[in-house]
Amino acid sequence: MITKEKLFEIREKIKPSLVENLLEGDRVEFRGEDLVLKGEYYKKQVRIALKNCDIIDPTNIDEYIAFDGYFALLKALTELEPGDVVDEITESLLRGRGGAGFPTGRKWNEAYKYQADKKYIICNADEGDPGAFMDRSILEKDPHSVLEGMALGGYAIGSDQGYIYVRAEYPMAVKRLQIAIDQAREYGLLGKNIFGTGFNFDIELRLGSGAFVCGEGTALMESIEGRRGMPRPKIHRTAHKGLWGKPTIINNVETLANVPVIMNKGAKWFRGIGTEESPGTKVFALVGKVENAGLVEVPMGMTLREIVFDIGGGAQDGKEYKAVQTGGPSGGCIPAELIDTPVDFESLGKIWSIMGSGGMVVMDENTCMVDIAKFFLDFSVEESCGKCVPCREGTKRMYEILDRITKGEGVEGDIERLEELSETVSSTSLCGLGQTAPNPVITTIKYYRHEYEAHIKKKSCPAKSCKALIKYEITEGCIGCTRCAKVCPVVAITGKVKEMHHIDQSICIKCGACYDVCPVDAISII
């Protein structure tokens, strides 16, 4: 079992050569006292949750210790009372990074005050939003930060058992977590009598099996208990009656990764980053049609423009930037004109979107907003657990309307019907999935009503994306190279060599193969 002295010894022994090797590799540089990744992409970033990612070897606990790993746990166990840890986190104003932004300290305090013979702490690693992979990166690249965060949480609320509920779609994360847990147990950083202080804490991995709704706290607990992952009515607070009826704290991966750093550097330091109401940083998965896709961690309050353009390099291939979608199926589309909105919990709420877990999907001029709304509704229909009728049936009806609109079969009144259904579904569903499922529809109608109207009234898709509403035509620029005719899977293109070709619209299936292959861009979509 590791002692206080041994922990110091590992750090002193490993750190110098590790830093030297890293600097030699030329991927990192010093920023103040911290080692950070080098390059233009990282200049504007402030990495707290990702501080070790791509720097240390995640399968080597010594490297985590070298960068002050498990020192926060040591300090808490040897110098602080559980109440002090709760106070420090409360003071830091750390808010849940899973999406809702509930203050972590307040959550912990509820469980801390509640007397029980058994308490649980759960790490919600069921990251399911399409377009988001923040948590996956932390789990794979710095798993010990999550374990340490959980142990601190366990000490704070008086729990000796933690669970990590991780989705089965992340096999590498599961592997790395298991390695990390085994190493921590071997060092005695998990298990009985940690640092000889009498504090016991262990962690067990539990896997999801492909149900998005299990990211919802009560559904997650149902799943761990071995039932269908359906949300419970919230008669009791989870902090009082959660897993197996015992006080339970559920924290997101990124939230937990912040905890050790806050305990090391202090709540005051943390509040110096970000905004007054949302201190700290947030990790975003900047993806979609953006030049530099990847993970970014920035101080709260940074504007969308800085994230999408200064870090992300704007839309791909010189196309026009159209919108950014945040918050996954629960979030909304933010149009180009609102690009100067600061990104924090409050500001995004004001423009009808949400922070969500951190997915940030960039869309360009060729993305149809009705189709995007349909995509998210399809997701919600598929993932609705079926417990609440408005969510189960309402999302399905909304999907059908959107499907009709994208096929050119929309009718007058469809937009109003969508709005009415949105209202019903969001106000009468039990859990967050149903309550927020209409958001993508609400925001796209709010900001892109004209696109809906074009589909319904003019039977046209302004983004030229909906198959049923476009046609491919060969224009005069055609040089008769015959490549389009060769590639057409249904032989709809005819024409002689070196003469202009023609597409038979009655045969064309609008696959776009000819459009992709034309060397002179003579095929246009109308």
Partner 1 sequence: MEFKFDMEENKEQIQAFREFLDSKKDTPGPLMPSLQRAQDVFGYLPKEMLEVISRKLSIPMAEIYGVATFYSQFSFIPTGRNKISVCLGTACYVKGAQSILEEIETQLGIKSGETTKDEIFSIASARCVGDCSIAPVILVNEDVYAKVKKDDIKEILSKYN
Residue 183 contacts residue 147 (beta carbons within 8 Å):
no
Supply the minimum distance, in Å, between the C-beta of residue 489 and partner 1: 9
Supply the minimum distance, in Å, between the C-beta of residue 420 and partner 1: 26
Supply the minimum distance, in Å, between the C-beta of residue 340 and partner 1: 23
End-to-end CA distance of the chain: 71
The rounded distance, in Å, linking the Cα atoms of 389 and 378 is: 16
CB-based burial label for 411 (10 Å; 0-12, 13-18, 19+): exposed
Decide if residue 171 touches partner 1 (CB under 8 A).
yes
- Tell me whether residue 200 or residue 366 sits nearer to partner 1 (CB atom): 366
Decide if residue 226 touches partner 1 (CB under 8 A).
yes
Binding residue (CB under 8 A) for partner 1 from 82, 96, 98, 128: 128
Contacts (CB under 8 A) with partner 1, residues 259-298: 285, 287-289, 293-294
Supply the minimum distance, in Å, between the C-beta of residue 363 and partner 1: 6
Neighbours of 223 (CB within 10 A): 22
Q: How does strand 120-125 pair with strand 248-252?
A: parallel
The rounded distance, in Å, linking the Cα atoms of 191 and 511 is: 58
Decide if residue 385 touches partner 1 (CB under 8 A).
yes
Which residues neighbour 294 within 8 Å (Cβ) at sequence distance 6 or greater?
41, 285, 286
Contacts (CB under 8 A) with partner 1, residues 321-350: 325, 328
Cα three-residue angle 96-98-100, rounded to 5 degrees: 65
Neighbours of 346 (CB within 10 A): 15
Which residues, in sequence order, are bridge partners of residue 205?
164
- Tell me whether residue 294 or residue 342 sits nearer to partner 1 (CB atom): 294
Supply the minimum distance, in Å, between the C-beta of residue 380 and partner 1: 11
Decide if residue 359 touches partner 1 (CB under 8 A).
yes
Supply the minimum distance, in Å, between the C-beta of residue 295 and partner 1: 8
Decide if residue 212 touches partner 1 (CB under 8 A).
yes
Binding residue (CB under 8 A) for partner 1 from 101, 131, 149, 335: 131
Cβ burial 374-401 (10 Å sphere, 16+ → b, else e): bbbbbbbbebbbebbebbbebbebbbeb
Residue 267 contacts residue 341 (beta carbons within 8 Å):
no
- Tell me whether residue 95 or residue 176 sits nearer to partner 1 (CB atom): 176
Residue 100: φ, ψ to 5°:
-80, -25
- Tell me whether residue 170 or residue 452 sits nearer to partner 1 (CB atom): 170
Q: Of 61-69, 81-89, 190-198, 203-211, which part binds partner 1 (CB under 8 A)?
A: 203-211
Supply the minimum distance, in Å, between the C-beta of residue 382 and partner 1: 8
Decide if residue 207 touches partner 1 (CB under 8 A).
yes
Binding residue (CB under 8 A) for partner 1 from 27, 192, 228, 498: 228
Which residues neighbour 436 within 8 Å (Cβ) at sequence distance 6 or greater?
327, 329, 330, 331, 354, 426
Decide if residue 367 touches partner 1 (CB under 8 A).
yes
Q: What residue ranges bind partner 1 (CB under 8 A)? A: 127-133, 136, 168-171, 206-212, 223-230, 244, 285, 287-289, 293-294, 325, 328, 359, 361, 363, 367, 372, 375-376, 379, 383, 385, 511-513
